Structure 1
Amino acid sequence: MEINRKIDELKEGLIKSSQELVKIKSVEEPAKEGMPYGEGVHNVLNKTLEICQNLGFKTVNIDGYVGYAEYGEGEDYVAVLGHLDVVPEGDGWIYPPYGAEIHDGKIYGRGTMDDKAPMVAALYGLKAIKDLNLPLSKRVRIIFGTNEESGCNEMPHYLEKEKAPVAGFTPDAEYPIIYGEKGITIFDVTKKLTVKSTGDVIIKSLNGGQRANVVPDYCEALISTKNTEAIINAAKEFKSKTGYDVTAEIKDNMIVVKSVGVAAHGSLPHLGKNAIMQMFKFLGELPLGKCDIADYINFFNKYVGFETDGKSFGVYLEDKESGKLSFNIGTVSMDEEKVSMALNLRYPVTFKYENMMNPFNEKIEAAGMEIENMLHQKPLFFPADHPIIKSLQKVYTEQTGKEAKLLAIGGGTYAKEMPNIVAFGPIFPGKPDLDHQANEYIEVDDLILNAKIYGHAIYELAK
């Protein structure tokens, strides 16, 4: 238990370093010279490597895409792989989303759980091994990615320059151990708006959501109509009837309709309230006449509505290893020429891409829609007796006293991007999953326990 004692000695630095990174807004922005994902991401990577250097580690920055801290000798290396970029903060925070304030034993802020503080926990786990001079047979790298939330586009750059680890984990999911991850697709469903509305109610614009992999908490529509009072009254009646937070107000001789939902991670859409689909349900009750945008709205109301498993769409899949397919509508945008909706579908680990997409394509083609900007990650599945799985099970049980059950998840992690990596923590059983939500936090005690588990896991894999 020397590692645990050493981490207790290092805990003030562990907390402070976590706070320093959370305070940097590292949402992807347009690229600049030497900053492939924008200034905020560039700043957080530099700050992280500075912290690593101050802890006595060798550091490398690979062209602003990826950085790493390294310790030890040997031909092969073990890796802890995580990310420093975050999703946009959204609304509804009780404490500043980049304040890293501590209240009631919790550090609040975007990235406290996903994934900055857990990566700092792994770093301090390695620091404990270094300070204790524990013998290792392999090098250890703590690898800091910068584009996990927007497609993991930096990982091919890393693997072009560096060989893959022989074993490792990513602290970006939940405990005990993730041995399966669903297949993930992100894509746009588009329709050209050639048949325009000629009625009294015309939708001029429609915008909602932040990203495909987040349940949208806001959607706004701009409507042109002569009968403004009727739309405002319809919104009041709709809200009273359904309980959905939809309101309408007059602005510059137009009607602005606002739909407020509840954000959640795109892999768990049933935990949120989809503001776009609330908006679609309301718009579907208005007299839009015969036009393309009305057809688009009616199609999604009929085949999706508030379902999150694809049943009505005809793409429902389920297996015992990873459960049901998840179906999230993340964003919508519309102008006079085109409407586009970003979807995030995740299919069970024992199925193939074609099992989902063949029926999906048939459905939208019949409705005159197209798919654009397809991103696809195949499922990931490790055998239960794999050496990495067995090693991490041993560590988890020893450090927590609890059984290390194997889990399959809908969330996609870096484990799909690099060989020989599985997802391991940082969310403990029974604790809320606040990734991508307002008021994301990590309990200080859990941060320290994570550092102890990760220290032992690194040692077990590299000793």
Structure 2
Amino acid sequence: MNINDSIDNLKDQLIKAVQEVVRVKSVEEKPQSGMPFGEGPANALETALEIARNLGFKIVNLDNYVGYAEYGESDEYVAALGHLDVVPEGDGWKYPPYSAEIHEGKIYGRGTTDDKGPIISALFALKAIVDAKLPLSKKVRIIFGTNEESGSKELKYYLDREKPPIAGFTPDAEYPIINGEKGITIFDFVKDLNTKPQGDFIIKYIKGGQKANMVPDYCEAGIKADLRSVLIESCEQFSERTGYDLKIEEKEDMVIVKSYGVSAHGSLPQLGKNAIMQLFAFLGELDLGSSDIGKFINFFNRYVGFEVNGESFGVGLSDDVSGKLSFNLGVADINEDKARLTLNVRYPVTKTYEDLMDPLEDRIKDTGIRVENMQHQEPLYFPENHPLIKTLQKVYKEQTGDEPKLLSIGGGTYAKEMPNIVAFGPIFPGKPDLDHQANEYIEIEDLIINAKIYAHTIYELAK
């Protein structure tokens, strides 16, 4: 039996396994005893490992941080590394986000593409190799992470206890092959609001967004207004004039302005509509006097607005390998005393952290705005003649017939955290990238093709 026939025989099992894992809501939660990232990710890991056990693999659970399925006896191993945690589901789903319903040949649900479907397809790829009785010289591990969407802290735990693979891939990006990943920063812009508004409109709070690496699809402001009718009329006129989806309602002693955007992955902010910046655009038209919150809002309206590449902020970096910097303002948490915005900025692979931070610090100089909680991942770049890259190109060309072009992306994958791996699939050229969006799905046909590609890849790396 050859590999592809083996995958075809496993098709129904693969589909059911993906559905089973997707039905586990695995958004990061507060840590519990024995559950470092909360109950959901731990349950998803247990589910995936039980599927692997039933397929006949040895399984290891490293204290619910990370787990793996293993085949073979060699000291060296190759790996497929994916994650079972997901970002919050958000609103706007036509099918329940954790039901894994199948409609028109697609499995719908949070995590179907990012990244439960692909890593389960890699698990079944290894099963196909075993069923085809193909000899391997190296051990293979399918590694299940549980914290990729919130910092990949589980991989430090893994590498403190296990040696890294000699080669491998993470099925968590797009095809053909990702040999470059932009540098990633996540940080807060913070300003103390000492000078309060004096006038008809007092902003009590602004709150919106879910995570730095998601374009915010909702934001609201609570405003105390002496002239409520004026505020309501202004909001309605603004919404009609701009086309921004703003709603307004009276609630107790405040007027609540609600902004509705469109979510997208933080590495591709151009695919979304930023609800925070829509709200800022409206608030910037109110007379807030010389207050600190007014200055804060006006600063971001002037230097960010709806730009997604950082030009006006002075950080519009680009290169020929990976393109333009991406600039996503993801979370707002503002009260009467302090303003905090959380950003996700990704810079080109040939640029440095200093290339980003020097002009960024210069822009906020003398504004009272400061940077806090900086998280940074350096860029990743594999040259085109690297043996791993050559192997993946060979498999992709053989299995698809398409040219295996090399890509650089803004999305950060496990490849930055685990030595000797690159991102490989699962999204095919021309197919929509629905990561972090409502109505995420994976086409069953693509799921099967992925399994075949991953099986041949594992075999080529481990034979």
Q: Which residue of 1 aligns with 2:125?
A: 125
Alpha-carbon contact 1:232-1:247 (below 8 Å) kept? no
- Any stretches of 5+ residues in structure 1 without a counterpart? none
Distance (whole Å) between structure 2 residues aligned to residue 339 and residue 27 of structure 1: 26
Task: Determine whether 1:55 maps to 2:55.
Answer: yes
Task: Determine whether 1:313 maps to 2:317.
Answer: no
Q: C-alpha displacement at 1:248, in angstroms?
A: 1.3
Q: Which residue of 1 aligns with 2:388?
A: 388
Q: Residue deviations 1:344-364, cap 9 Å, x none?
A: 000000000000111101211
Q: Counterpart of 1:453 in 2: which secondary structure?
A: helix
Q: C-alpha displacement at 1:365, in angstroms?
A: 2.7
Q: C-alpha displacement at 1:68, in angstroms?
A: 0.2
Q: Which residue of 1 aligns with 2:374?
A: 374
Task: Determine whether 1:359 maps to 2:359.
Answer: yes
Q: Which residue of 2 aligns with 1:70?
A: 70
Q: Residue deviations 1:231-257, cap 9 Å, x none?
A: 100011101110001121111131000
Q: Residue deviations 1:337-390, cap 9 Å, x none?
A: 211000000000000000011110121132111111100000000000100000
> 1:184-223, aligned counterparts within 5 Å?
184-223=184-223
Q: Which residue of 1 aligns with 2:284?
A: 284
- Any stretches of 5+ residues in structure 2 without a counterpart? none
Distance (whole Å) between structure 2 residues aligned to residue 85 and residue 277 of structure 1: 28
Distance (whole Å) between structure 2 residues aligned to residue 319 and residue 40 of structure 1: 40
Q: Between 297-306 and 242-251, report the one with greater CA deviation.
A: 242-251
Q: Residue deviations 1:123-182, cap 9 Å, x none?
A: 000001111221111000000000000011111110000001000000000000000000
Q: Residue deviations 1:27-71, cap 9 Å, x none?
A: 000000000000011101011100000000000001110000000
Alpha-carbon contact 1:331-1:341 (below 8 Å) kept? yes
Q: Counterpart of 2:10 in 1: which secondary structure?
A: helix
Task: Determine whether 1:232 maps to 2:232.
Answer: yes
> 1:323-342, aligned counterparts within 5 Å?
323-342=323-342
Q: Residue deviations 1:83-119, cap 9 Å, x none?
A: 0000000000000000100000000000000000100
Distance (whole Å) between structure 1 residues aligned to residue 145 and residue 177 of structure 2: 21
Distance (whole Å) between structure 2 residues aligned to residue 171 and residue 455 of structure 1: 12
Q: C-alpha displacement at 1:406, in angstroms?
A: 0.3
Q: Between 125-134 and 272-281, report the one with greater CA deviation.
A: 125-134
Task: Determine whether 1:437 maps to 2:437.
Answer: yes
Q: Which residue of 1 aligns with 2:27?
A: 27
Q: Counterpart of 2:371 in 1: which secondary structure?
A: strand
Q: Which amino acid aligns with 1:117?
A: G
Distance (whole Å) between structure 1 residues aligned to residue 117 and residue 272 of structure 2: 24
Q: C-alpha displacement at 1:213, in angstroms?
A: 0.4
Q: Counterpart of 1:450 in 2: which secondary structure?
A: helix
Alpha-carbon contact 1:265-1:435 (below 8 Å) kept? yes
Q: Which amino acid aligns with 1:399?
A: Q
Q: Counterpart of 2:11 in 1: which secondary structure?
A: helix
Q: TM-score, normalised by structure 1?
A: 0.99
> 1:101-250, aligned counterparts within 5 Å?
101-250=101-250
Q: Counterpart of 1:97 in 2: which secondary structure?
A: coil
Q: Which residue of 2 aligns with 1:446?
A: 446
Distance (whole Å) between structure 1 residues aligned to residue 5 and residue 255 of structure 2: 62
Distance (whole Å) between structure 1 residues aligned to residue 253 and residue 416 of structure 2: 51
Q: Residue deviations 1:375-415, cap 9 Å, x none?
A: 00000000001000000000001000111000000000000
Q: Counterpart of 1:161 in 2: which secondary structure?
A: coil
Q: Counterpart of 1:154 in 2: which secondary structure?
A: helix
Distance (whole Å) between structure 1 residues aligned to residue 437 and residue 366 of structure 2: 36
Q: Which amino acid aligns with 1:357?
A: M
Distance (whole Å) between structure 2 residues aligned to residue 246 and residue 357 of structure 1: 34
Distance (whole Å) between structure 2 residues aligned to residue 196 and residue 202 of structure 1: 8
Distance (whole Å) between structure 2 residues aligned to residue 199 and residue 80 of structure 1: 59
Alpha-carbon contact 2:18-2:116 (below 8 Å) kept? yes
Q: C-alpha displacement at 1:13, in angstroms?
A: 0.4
Distance (whole Å) between structure 1 residues aligned to residue 174 and residue 168 of structure 2: 15
Structure 1 outlier segments of 4+, above 6 Å:
none
Q: Counterpart of 1:307 in 2: which secondary structure?
A: coil
Q: Which amino acid aligns with 2:183?
A: G
Distance (whole Å) between structure 2 residues aligned to residue 246 and residue 96 of structure 1: 25
Q: What's the RMSD between the two structures over aligned residues? A: 0.7
Q: Counterpart of 1:360 in 2: which secondary structure?
A: helix
Alpha-carbon contact 2:164-2:418 (below 8 Å) kept? yes
Distance (whole Å) between structure 1 residues aligned to residue 205 and residue 336 of structure 2: 8
Distance (whole Å) between structure 2 residues aligned to residue 73 and residue 385 of structure 1: 30
Q: Which amino acid aligns with 1:111?
A: G
Q: Residue deviations 1:418-445, cap 9 Å, x none?
A: 1000000000000000000000000000
Q: Which residue of 1 aligns with 2:99?
A: 99
Distance (whole Å) between structure 2 residues aligned to residue 60 and residue 351 of structure 1: 39
Q: Between 404-413 and 192-201, report the one with greater CA deviation.
A: 192-201
Distance (whole Å) between structure 2 residues aligned to residue 316 and residue 210 of structure 1: 25
Alpha-carbon contact 1:231-1:248 (below 8 Å) kept? no
Alpha-carbon contact 1:191-1:368 (below 8 Å) kept? yes
> 1:384-423, aligned counterparts within 5 Å?
384-423=384-423
Paired residues, number: 463
Q: C-alpha displacement at 1:289, in angstroms?
A: 1.1
Q: Counterpart of 1:350 in 2: which secondary structure?
A: coil
Alpha-carbon contact 2:203-2:336 (below 8 Å) kept? no
Q: TM-score, normalised by structure 2?
A: 0.99
Q: Between 261-270 and 364-373, report the one with greater CA deviation.
A: 364-373
Distance (whole Å) between structure 2 residues aligned to residue 266 and residue 253 of structure 1: 35
Q: Which amino acid aligns with 1:190?
A: V
Q: C-alpha displacement at 1:336, in angstroms?
A: 2.2
Distance (whole Å) between structure 1 residues aligned to residue 44 and residue 384 of structure 2: 36
